[in-house]
């Protein structure tokens, strides 16, 4: 996994729990913790860190990863503003992940191992993202989707009708956009 | 509440954090250096590839020249063999005629001797024999035929000399430098060279209007005409017309070569000038003709354009800048 994911996790932990917490987690996971965005590290290191964090906070690893996704998105927006042009809405942004963002990411980090997304657009306010990856990190995608909603100031809902963790061979994230400011439960035509 | 040991622990944490940050920065700098080095090597590699491509292209142009020379020499051999053939046969007929005629001359000599010796009997006998021979050998016809065979042979030899001269002016080996030329001369010389490729299938319609001179390397420009003419001939299946037109605009001389052959499908038009693009069977076309022509015309500051309709025919238009000395006048 790319170092940028680690440096981002490092930031998140230090921001929310302080420098000592990160130092402590590294010690617990027996890692030297020298991370550089452009380098590549074993997936197992990420799992060990999430495990240590889970032990510390009592929060399930899946929920931590989702939170991490939420935290990561505005950081990405800060670092790569080109992917967030003025006037863009969350749905357009999510549609650009596979064909634009991750394509550019691959140019920057040729050894990145990126997931694939296929899109379906059943209605103007809906989007289905079919996720496939050896890493089965659909919860990270969920967190990034929530982070995108927050970033663009929109309300959305999603559910997974199929998931690796339910024995399917891909994850199907069905998203429903409810526009800026509207309260999800009022004009809600999502099932 | 902050205890002494807490403060101590905090400074340990900070020291470790600082060390990690420094190590991470060093690693980042090293990655940057590696990338810079890779970039430099990649650029170096690219330059080498570029140079070798340029070299290959040069060789290709050269081998295209050789290929067209090969293709043509077959046609030219035929053009030369034909007159050589009938001149040879004429000369051997003339040799037979010379035998008959020298025999007659000997007999006339004998008549002259007999008359001188006053031997009327012998002379009239010999004269009778001469009359018989003149009758049998159709001497009057033979004398007329001699003239015909000689005229025909001279004509054949003149044709051989013309072909050799055309070839020389086509290749213009002797002059490497650019010169001001009337492109119509080049077109005529080229036509003679490719005549064998065209004559069976094509009517050649020449509309060669007077045009200003063009500064060019005549050998190269003729190679362009040759490629276009050979292509036009090859595009015609059974019987057709190749039209060659010259005209001029303010700044350019325009040569257009059209045929009413098979035409070029829309999707091929953009590929025509690409090296190795050919629709001809393996072994017959290398697909270099047009790409080489394009390069030559471009080098002369001109353009080459094509328009075509499938089933109706194709027109290639070559525009070359008028010689500066002409436009200055
Ligand atoms: C500016 C926006 C984004 C950038 C720069 C970005 C970049 C990256 C990078 C560098 C990785 C790591 C690849 C590796 O370690 O080999 C990654 C992984 C991933 N990205 Fe993105 N990404 C962006 C947005 C998104 C969004 C919006 C989603 C989902 C909706 C998404 C889904 C994922 C997932 C799920 C992974 C984990 C790897 C896996 O599943 O195999 N990304 N991305
Ligand atoms: N007058 C034409 N009419 C129809 N097709 C043409 C004409 N001129 C060129 N083409 C098409 O363009 C292709 C490329 O022509 P080009 O002269 O470059 O190569 P070539 O004739 O195939 O081979 P060679 O290297 O022997 O010239 C031809 O194979 C043919 O398909
Ligand atoms: Mg050709």
**For chain A, percent of residues with pLDDT exceeding 90:** 87
Distance CA B277, CA B279 (A): 7
What is the tens place of the pLDDT at every residue in B7-42? 555 888 999 999 999 999 999 999 999 988 999 999
What distance lies between CA A24 and its chain's CA centroid? 24
**For chain B, percent of residues with pLDDT exceeding 70:** 89
Per the listing, tokens 């990863």 go with: A65
ipTM of the complex: 0.75
Residue B246's SS3 state is strand
Which chain A residues touch B23 with a CB distance below 8 Å? 32, 34
Smallest Cβ distance to A36: which of B13, B17, B28? B28
- Tokens standing for B62? 């050269």
Q: Residue A152's pLDDT is what?
A: 97
Q: Which range among A136-140, B19-23, B49-53 has the greatest average pLDDT?
A: A136-140
Q: Is the CB of A4 under 6 A from ligand 1?
A: yes
Distance CA B75, CA B81 (A): 10
pLDDT bracket for residue A12 (50, 70, 90): very high
Put residue B225 in one of left, alpha, beta given phi > 0 → left and psi -120 to 50 → alpha.
alpha
Distance CA A53, CA A67 (A): 12
Mean pLDDT, rounded, of chain B: 87
Q: Residue B281's pLDDT is what?
A: 81
* Over residues B161-176, mean pLDDT: 67
Distance CA B315, CA B159 (A): 31
Which chain A residues touch B31 with a CB distance below 8 Å? 36, 38-39
Q: Residue B284's pLDDT is what?
A: 72
Q: Do A32 and B20 touch (CB under 8 A)?
A: yes
Residue A135 vs residue B172, higher pLDDT:
A135
Helix, strand, coil percentages for chain B (3-state, nearest 5) = 65, 15, 20
* Over residues A161-172, mean pLDDT: 97
With 0-12 CB in 10 A as exposed, 13-18 as middle and 19+ as buried, what is A157? middle
Residue A186 has pLDDT above 60, yes or no: no
Helix, strand, coil percentages for chain A (3-state, nearest 5) = 50, 15, 35
How many Cα atoms sit within 13 Å of A149 on the Cβ side? 21
Q: Residue B4's pLDDT is what?
A: 45
Return the closest-CA partner of residue B308 out of B266, B271, B280, B274: B266
**For chain A, percent of residues with pLDDT exceeding 70:** 94
Per the listing, tokens 């020379």 go with: B69
Q: Is the CB of A159 under 6 A from ligand 1?
A: no
Q: Do residues B72 and B225 make contact, with C-beta atoms less than 8 angstroms apart?
A: no
Residue A137 alpha carbon, nearest atom of ligand 1: 40
Residue B197 has pLDDT above 80, yes or no: yes
Residue A9 has pLDDT above 80, yes or no: yes
Contacts of residue B297, Cβ cutoff 8 Å, sequence gap at least 6: B224, B303, B304, B318, B320
Q: Do residues A182 and A101 make contact, with C-beta atoms less than 8 angstroms apart?
A: no
Smallest Cβ distance to A35: which of B14, B24, B31? B24
Q: Residue A105's pLDDT is what?
A: 93
Q: What pTM did the predictor assign?
A: 0.56
- Tokens standing for A175? 């998203």
Mutate to test the interface with A, among B10, B24, B27, B32 (most CBs of A within 10 A): B24
Q: Residue B171's pLDDT is what?
A: 63
What is the tens place of the pLDDT at every residue in A41-92? 999 999 999 999 999 999 999 999 999 999 999 999 999 999 999 999 999 9
Residue B118 has pLDDT above 60, yes or no: yes
pLDDT bracket for residue A35 (50, 70, 90): very high
With 0-12 CB in 10 A as exposed, 13-18 as middle and 19+ as buried, what is A13? buried
Residue B2 has pLDDT above 70, yes or no: no
Q: Do B28 and A38 touch (CB under 8 A)?
A: yes
Distance CA A4, CA A37 (A): 4
Q: Residue A118's pLDDT is what?
A: 98
Residue B68 has pLDDT above 90, yes or no: no
Q: Residue B280's pLDDT is what?
A: 87
């Amino acid at each position: 996994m790319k170092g940028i994911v680690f440096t981002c996790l490092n930031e998140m932990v230090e921001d929310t729990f302080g420098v000592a917490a990160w130092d402590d987690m590294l010690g617990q996971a027996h890692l030297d913790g020298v991370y550089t965005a452009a380098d590549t590290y074993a997936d197992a290191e990420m799992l060990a860190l999430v495990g240590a964090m889970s032990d510390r906070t009592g929060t399930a690893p899946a929920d931590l990863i989702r939170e991490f996704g939420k935290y990561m998105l505005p950081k990405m927006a800060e670092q790569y503003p080109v992917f967030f042009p003025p006037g863009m809405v969350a749905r357009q942004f999510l549609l650009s992940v596979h064909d634009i963002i991750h394509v550019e990411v691959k140019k920057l980090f040729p050894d990145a191992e990126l997931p694939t997304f296929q899109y379906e657009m059943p209605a103007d306010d809906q989007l289905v993202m079919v996720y496939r990856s050896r890493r089965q990190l659909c919860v990270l995608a969920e967190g990034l989707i929530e982070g995108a909603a927050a970033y663009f100031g929109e309300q959305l809902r999603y559910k997974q009708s199929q998931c690796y963790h339910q024995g399917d061979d891909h994850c199907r994230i069905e998203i429903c956009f409810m526009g800026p400011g509207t309260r999800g439960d009022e004009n809600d035509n999502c099932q | 509440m902050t205890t002494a040991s807490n403060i101590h622990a905090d400074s340990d944490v900070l020291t470790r954090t600082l060390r990690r940050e420094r190590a991470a920065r060093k690693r980042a700098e090293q990655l940057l250096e590696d990338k810079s080095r890779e970039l430099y090597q990649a650029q170096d590699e690219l330059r080498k590839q570029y140079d070798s491509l340029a070299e290959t292209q040069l060789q290709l142009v050269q081998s295209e020249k050789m290929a067209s020379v090969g293709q043509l020499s077959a046609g030219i051999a035929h053009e030369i063999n034909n007159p050589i053939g009938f001149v040879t046969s004429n000369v051997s007929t003339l040799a037979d005629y010379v035998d008959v005629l020298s025999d007659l001359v000997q007999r006339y000599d004998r008549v002259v001797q007999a008359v001188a010796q006053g031997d009327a009997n012998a002379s009239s006998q010999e004269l009778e024999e001469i009359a018989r021979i003149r009758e049998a050998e159709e001497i009057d016809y033979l004398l007329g035929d001699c003239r015909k065979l000689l005229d025909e042979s001279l004509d054949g030899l003149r044709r051989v000399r013309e072909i050799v001269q055309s070839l020389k002016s086509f290749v213009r080996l002797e002059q490497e430098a650019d010169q001001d030329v009337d492109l119509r001369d080049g077109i005529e010389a080229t036509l003679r060279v490719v005549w064998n490729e065209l004559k069976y299938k094509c009517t050649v319609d020449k509309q060669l209007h007077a045009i200003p001179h063009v500064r060019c390397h005549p050998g190269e420009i003729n190679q362009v005409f040759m490629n276009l003419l050979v292509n036009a001939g090859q595009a015609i299946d059974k019987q057709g017309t190749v039209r060659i037109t010259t005209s001029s605009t303010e700044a350019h001389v325009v040569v257009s070569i059209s045929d009413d052959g098979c035409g070029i499908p829309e999707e091929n038009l953009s590929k025509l000038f690409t090296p190795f693009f050919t629709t001809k069977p393996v072994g017959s076309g290398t697909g270099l003709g047009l790409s080489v022509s394009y390069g030559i015309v471009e080098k002369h500051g001109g353009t080459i354009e094509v328009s075509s309709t499938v089933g109706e025919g194709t027109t290639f238009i070559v525009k070359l800048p008028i010689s500066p000395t002409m436009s200055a006048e």
